[in-house]
Amino acid sequence: MSNILRQHAEQLFENELSELKKNETGKVPVNWLLSPQSVVTYIMGGKLKNGFEVSPKYIGNRRLIEIAVSTITTDRALLLYGLPGTAKSWVSEHLAAAISGDSTLIVQGTSGTGEESIRYGWNYAKLLAEGPSESAIVKTPVMRAMREGKIVRIEELTRITSDVQDTLITVLSEKALPIPELNMEVQAVKGFNIIATANNRDKGVNDLSSALKRRFNTVVLPLPDSIDEEIDIVKRRVESYEKVMELPAEKPALEEIRRIVTIFRELRSGATLDGKSKLKVPSGTLSTAEAISVVNSGLSMAGYFGDGNLKAADLAAGIIGAVVKDPVQDKLVWQEYLETVVKNRDKWKDFYRACRDLM
């Protein structure tokens, strides 16, 4: 097994991408690895004509992925938008892997991201020695994607300040990147496009200008519709993590995953699943990604400090950490949930005791 902690999508699913390419029957756009139909099959999963099974990377509405892929075939960029933990980065990575065969061209958006991270930078040693020249330019992922006809990913677009965001306008509208210091420009090759992500918890931080919004097609990725759908997502991601990390623990019982997902869904919605009790909502997002993290943490506890079987005591610390972000307000929310819901549920007594012991 590889010693790489986290392989890129195109490495981890190289076999699936290869099979899809061999079985390709649709029209493949210029510089794309697969046809749009095959990209959707790669993301959503399915069985090929030769019987090969493609695993699903995203569990949800197929139409959303079809809209996302069709957007990338046009001159519009794609913005994946939604709550934290709704698989925006995961989907963008897999889209880039299936379209370009390369998911590594990425700009991580933060409040400190400057223009030079999007347009280009300078090797100042060469600049001082030789003056402005093409060899002195430090190529950004955006510039490389334009030259190679690939997808570039921009994570957390709304974390980037508005004036830096707007450097994308010329790239998206003219498909060119001017370099005035050299009196030249980089023109985008066919296959180039941008997939950006943003979460609605950052709404109002650095909203996109109307000029930039017009150049993106927005696809909102929702939270999983049903509890079974969310359980399936958590189960698949946990099994993948367990395989990579080689944890000395047994696969978690489905009932333990169901318990965690139930807690997250109830606290997220402010009501029990049966609708009989209203609940206070904590300040955190309690996303599917956090549920995956809680189970992974529990597996680590069970493997290294338990008997290898995931139990309530292994999960308790992780779920308290996920729920109680505010030590005053959220602690009261969690205590009320424990006493009014968890305590009274059949077969949840072990979980109640484990959580009480840590409060």
Domain count, the chain: 2
What average pLDDT does range 268-280 have in this prediction? 93
Question: Does residue 73 sit in the same domain as residue 28?
Answer: yes
Range of the domain at 214: 9-220
Last residue of a domain, one of 185, 220, 255: 220
Phi-psi region of 35 (alpha: psi -120 to 50; beta: other; left: phi over 0): beta
3-state helix, strand, coil in the chain (%, to 5): 50, 15, 35
Last residue of a domain, one of 220, 246, 280: 220
Q: pLDDT class for 180, splitting at 50, 70, 90?
A: very high
- Which range has highest mean pLDDT (37-41, 243-247, 307-311)? 37-41
Q: pLDDT class for 161, splitting at 50, 70, 90?
A: very high
Distance of alpha carbon 230 from alpha carbon 162, whole angstroms: 35
Query: Which residues fall within 8 angstroms of residue 285, CB to CB, at 6 or more apart?
Result: 83, 84, 85, 201, 268
Question: Does residue 157 sit in the same domain as residue 272?
Answer: no
Cite the beta strand spans of the chain per DSSP E: 46-47, 53-54, 77-82, 106-108, 120-122, 137-139, 151-155, 176-179, 184-187, 193-199, 216-220
Question: Does residue 235 sit in the same domain as residue 253?
Answer: yes
Question: Does residue 170 sit in the same domain as residue 239?
Answer: no
Distance of alpha carbon 2 from alpha carbon 355, whole angstroms: 37
What average pLDDT does range 153-179 have in this prediction? 95
In a domain, residue 3? The reply is no
Distance of alpha carbon 172 from alpha carbon 103, whole angstroms: 20
CB atoms within 10 A of CB 134: 10
pLDDT digits (tens, 9 = 90+) for 288-315: 999 999 999 999 999 999 999 999 999 9
Question: Does residue 100 sit in the same domain as residue 161?
Answer: yes
Question: Does residue 205 sit in the same domain as residue 297?
Answer: no
Last residue of a domain, one of 182, 204, 220: 220
In a domain, residue 203? The reply is yes
In a domain, residue 33? The reply is yes
Question: Does residue 203 sit in the same domain as residue 236?
Answer: no
In a domain, residue 150? The reply is yes
Query: Which residues fall within 8 angstroms of residue 276, CB to CB, at 6 or more apart?
Result: none
Phi, psi of 129 (to 5 degrees): -80, -40
What average pLDDT does range 196-221 have in this prediction? 88
pLDDT at 160 over 60: yes
| pLDDT for the residue numbered 348 | 94
